[in-house]
Structures are given as C-alpha cells and as structure tokens.
Amino acid sequence: MTESTSRGKFITFEGIDGAGKTTQAEMLVVALREKQELPISFVREPGGDPISESIRKLLLHSEEIMSDRAEALLMIASRAQLTDKVILPYLMDGRWVVADRYADSTLAYQGGGRGLSSTALKEINYFGTYTLKPDLTFFLDISVEEANNRMSVSRDRIEKEGDEFQERVRDFYTNLHTEEPERVILIDGKKSIDAIHNEIWSIVNEKLMP
C-alpha cells in the first residue's frame, strides 16, 4: 500500500429501490476515474466483500421468515466487514470510495420501514461503521409509483414488501435530508439520467474538490 497524507473522500447513494442509485453511482465512478489520479473504488451494500456477499444472500434470498432485529444486525454485520476490510483501507490510502447504499439504508429500511428504534439502530451503526460517516450522500428521490414502473419483475425479499413500506422508507430519507442538509443532498430522481449526473458532478466538484 502506498502512503498518503490525506484520507480519500467517501460518497454514498441512497433512495428507495429503483430510484436510480446504481445508474448514478456508476456514472460518478467513471467521471471520477477520468479526473482523479488515484483509483476510485465502487462498493455496494449489502455486499462488496466475500463475507458480506454471503450475508447478502442470506438477507435477500432466505426462504425462512427473518426477524426484523436479525435483519438489522445482519445488515450492520455486512457493513462492519466491508468497512474494516475494504472501505477504510482504501480511504486511508487516499483513494475515494463510492458506495451504492450505506448506513442510512439501515435507518431508512429497518427504522423507517420496519419500525425498529432509530436510537438503537444509530448506536449499532456507530459500532458497525467504526464511526465512519460519508462526506457526501446523494438521496435520489422518486415516487413509489415511478419506482414500481422502473423495477424489474424479479424482486428480492425486501423489494417485495409493498408500497406502504417503500413510502415509509422514502419519508425517512426525506427527514434525514431535513436533519442533515449539508451532507444528505436531495436530488429529483425524475429528471433524465444525464441531467441528474450533471447535477451530481457539479455538487461533487463544488463540495469535495480542492
């Protein structure tokens, strides 16, 4: 590993299923790779490391009924592994990391969606993230109806939860943006893919580039 004097930046994408996170995260990675000298890393949650990917299979495709708390703890276990083994070493090396979902997803889905205690989830997240917080988070906001139109017919266990669940998740993200407007940037996900990318690119340049 090469030594670096400054920590890399950590950018996350959040929103309900089908909001356009993967599309935009991948476009940002391409744009950053063209601009930055150091490699840019891209991870997804739950997953992004062999152990975390095994936990992902359990979480999204388990046929057994999973308790809400077991679901929350597995999400955070997957995050702890990814943070310790992948994200933190990269950031310490001066690389930038772009993540398709991170700790806010647990607050929104297991807190907003399932109704688990926000205070408890924040504490466990604090432990599971090794206290890491994103420098910048893009919340891509679209209606549940629009998301349903965009999503494929094959849905994982959590995507099958239904419209009311997704509405609660969306409301939670909206509140998060109100609480932390400097970090959690609300982006209108209905705009065209290129228009959203240009908006995100100009915010990244304005807030994170020297």
Query: Is residue 124 close enough to count as binding ligand ADP by CB under 6 A?
Result: no
Residues 6+ apart with CB under 8 A from 70: none
Return contacts of 24-27, CB within 8 angstroms, 24+ apart. Answer: 24/138, 24/140, 24/193, 24/196, 24/197, 24/200, 25/98, 25/99, 25/100, 27/193, 27/197, 27/200
Residues 6+ apart with CB under 8 A from 181: none
Query: Is residue 184 close enough to count as binding ligand ADP by CB under 6 A?
Result: no
Q: Which of residues 104-133 bind ligand TYD (CB under 6 A)?
A: 105-106, 109-110
Of 74 and 187, nearer to ligand ADP (C-beta) is: 187
How does DSSP classify residue 160?
G
- Among 9, 101, 168, 197, indicate the residue that binds ligand TYD (CB under 6 A): 101
3-state secondary structure of 168: helix
Of 125 and 185, nearer to ligand TYD (C-beta) is: 125
Binding mask 144-173 for ligand TYD (x = CB under 6 A): ------------x-xx--------------
The interface partner of residue 54, options being ligand ADP, ligand TYD, none and the CB cut-off 5 to 8 Å by kind, is none
Q: How far is the CB of 157 from ligand ADP (least distance, A)?
A: 15
Q: How far is the CB of 178 from ligand TYD (least distance, A)?
A: 20
Per the CB < 8 A criterion, the answer to whether 74 and 60 are in contact is: no
Residue 186 φ/ψ, nearest 5 degrees: -85, 125
Q: Which of residues 36-75 bind ligand TYD (CB under 6 A)?
A: 45-46, 60, 75
Residues 6+ apart with CB under 8 A from 207: 135, 136
Contact residues for ligand TYD (CB under 6 A)?
17, 21-22, 45-46, 60, 75, 100-101, 105-106, 109-110, 156, 158-159
